[in-house]
Amino acid sequence: MAGLSGINKVNWSQVGRITEPGRYQYTFGWLTVGTEDLAIWEQYPNAVFTLVNLPAAKDQAGDEYRLGTFELR
């Protein structure tokens, strides 16, 4: 994934153990986290999500991501 410098998966700790759904800025770009994603992390705190690159809007700077599939560790 371009712009990620080798990062293509994230865990809850890496995104600051956020507790609210929303759009957050990180060093690799913007990440949108949904209610369902947070429910998985609350039930499985060690789950790791694959980042899915989204097409950026013309007026946005930086890469856009959402959480994709997850694996339990």
Does the pTM of the predicted model rise above 0.95?
Answer: no
* Structure tokens that stand for 40 in this block: 């998985």
* Structure tokens that stand for 61 in this block: 């700077």
Q: So what's the pLDDT on residue 58? A: 60
Using only C-alpha atoms, the chain has a radius of gyration, in whole angstroms, of 12
pLDDT tens-place string over residues 16-68: 999 999 999 998 889 999 999 999 999 999 999 999 998 866 666 678 999 99
Q: So what's the pLDDT on residue 14? A: 94
pLDDT tens-place string over residues 14-28: 999 999 999 999 988
Length, in residues, of the chain: 73
Q: So what's the pLDDT on residue 60? A: 65
List 70's β-bridge partners, or say none.
Answer: 49
